[in-house]
Amino acid sequence: MDRIVIRGGVPLNGSIIIGGAKNAALPLLATALLTADPVRFTNVPRLADIDTMANLLAQHGVSVERDGANATLTAATITSTTAPYDLVRRMRASVLVLGPLVARCGEAIVSLPGGCAIGTRPVDLHIEGLKALGAEIEIDGGYMKAKAKGRLRGATIRFPVVSVGATENLLMAASLADGVTVLENAAREPEVVDLANCLVAMGARIEGIGTDRVTIEGQERLFGCDYRIMPDRIETGTYAAAVAIAGGDVELIDGRLSLLGSVCEKLHEAGCDISETPNGLRIRRNGVSVRGVDVMTAPYPGFPTDMQAQLMAVMSVAEGASMITETIFENRFMHVPELARMGASITVHGASALIRGVKELKGAPVMATDLRASVSLVLAGLAASGETIVNRVYHLDRGYERLEEKLAACGARIERAAG
């Protein structure tokens, strides 16, 4: 199993190209199930999770042609409506095929995703939403078995909690339903907006995009389209956090400041200088130390849970104390004991972590059990003295394209070691 080896203490200087957003690309690829026409995407990130989704779709009979950052998907006929356990357990976002399959084929059998490193993560909202659209769903043998007589029917659905995935599944299903669907308390994440915009390009009629009340007028059929996937705001935020912890001056090409929102505010409060450039954004921290800031994760436009671990790494070397509260997922502090092994001073009380900034982190062999936790250890390694070895690199490969090359190009002493 590959490892990432970092010898920290070097500020980052240069530029990094930000890729297409993983969490936008995953539902976007699933939209191909909604039409028999080819759907062409550009700016597709090259990540393990994207390969998993492509394999799942191919398994449903979708032809998937990929060429670098381009992908053309054609679901002329759907040969299987079953999403098997073996693929779904690898990536929870596989559950995004449920809505499109029931809407297009009137049936779907999708494995329940099962346990997950960052909490229980149920799918009840996906199920209840589709039931409201007229699907019958039973759980049998670890699978969700959904059936609809004819087309799904539009309905008003009020989500009791904000869910990105459930909003996306319902947006896709409602686009092919008979009549009008209203999604209340819908997720407003930019990735949801990207999906809605693509559905509109495919012929869907959607109002209220980007608000918490989205109205979808279902169509009898949708069409192919060309669509460019938005830049990855979490990748952007992660490299911004890398500059925050290591110091330096880096341009994040294709990164979009407007997508960073609260992450930008917090990094600014912590002492970083962030500005827009003609090609993206620039982040600097030169000669000033990082200051402790308090953060609470929340649905968009709040601070993203997917940036929580990275910010905690930064706060571990800040001047003063910080409090980070995680409100989206339980059990999303797995990076804490690993950061502590590097010398961080962090105390967890329930959903909050109190971080007392230390002068220096010290390199150590570490590992983490999820994507963002793993990358937070890479960030810590960039600032630590000595050598940090991050094991279980496959987590990083799920969501960061050529991470070590991008950081090394800015001067970081980081490399991938095989075996």
Residues engaged in binding ligand UD1 (CB under 6 A): 23, 26, 92-93, 121-126, 161, 163-166, 191, 304-306, 328-329
Contacts of 307 (CB under 8 A, 6+ apart): 234, 237, 238, 241, 263, 372
Judge residue 275's burial from the number of C-beta atoms within 10 Å of its C-beta, 0-12 exposed, 13-18 middle, 19 or more buried: exposed
Kindly state the smallest distance separating residue 15's Cβ from ligand UD1, in Å.
26
Q: What is the DSSP letter of 41?
A: E
Cβ nearer to ligand UD1, comparing 143 with 219: 143
Kindly state the smallest distance separating residue 383's Cβ from ligand UD1, in Å.
25
Active site residue 225: no
Kindly state the smallest distance separating residue 130's Cβ from ligand UD1, in Å.
11
Kindly state the smallest distance separating residue 101's Cβ from ligand UD1, in Å.
17
Compute the C-alpha angle 252/258/260, nearest 5°: 65
Report the length, in residues, of the chain: 419
Rg (CA), the chain: 21
Among candidate residues 207, 167, 210, the one with its CA nearest the CA of residue 186 = 167
Cβ nearer to ligand UD1, comparing 159 with 239: 159
Cβ nearer to ligand UD1, comparing 233 with 282: 233
CB 75 within 8 A of CB 32: yes
H helices of 17-97, in order, are 22-30, 48-59, 85-88
Kindly state the smallest distance separating residue 187's Cβ from ligand UD1, in Å.
6
Cβ nearer to ligand UD1, comparing 306 with 338: 306
Instruction: Tell me the residue nearest to ligand UD1 as measured from the CB.
Output: 165
CA gap 148, 346 in Å, rounded: 50
Residue 122, CA distances (Å) to 92, 118, 187, 211 in order? 10, 11, 16, 24
Cβ nearer to ligand UD1, comparing 301 with 337: 301
Cβ nearer to ligand UD1, comparing 52 with 175: 52
> Among residues 116, 198, 272, 410, which one is catalytic?
116
Compute the C-alpha angle 129/165/312, nearest 5°: 140
Chain-centroid distance, C-alpha 333: 17
Cβ nearer to ligand UD1, comparing 214 with 384: 214
Contacts of 61 (CB under 8 A, 6+ apart): 75, 77, 78, 79, 80
Torsion of CA 64, 65, 68, 71, to 10 degrees: -60
Kindly state the smallest distance separating residue 122's Cβ from ligand UD1, in Å.
4
CA gap 307, 204 in Å, rounded: 32
CA gap 50, 88 in Å, rounded: 13
CA gap 170, 134 in Å, rounded: 12
CB 311 within 8 A of CB 340: no
Kindly state the smallest distance separating residue 268's Cβ from ligand UD1, in Å.
22
Cβ nearer to ligand UD1, comparing 36 with 296: 296
Kindly state the smallest distance separating residue 92's Cβ from ligand UD1, in Å.
6
List the catalytic residues: 116
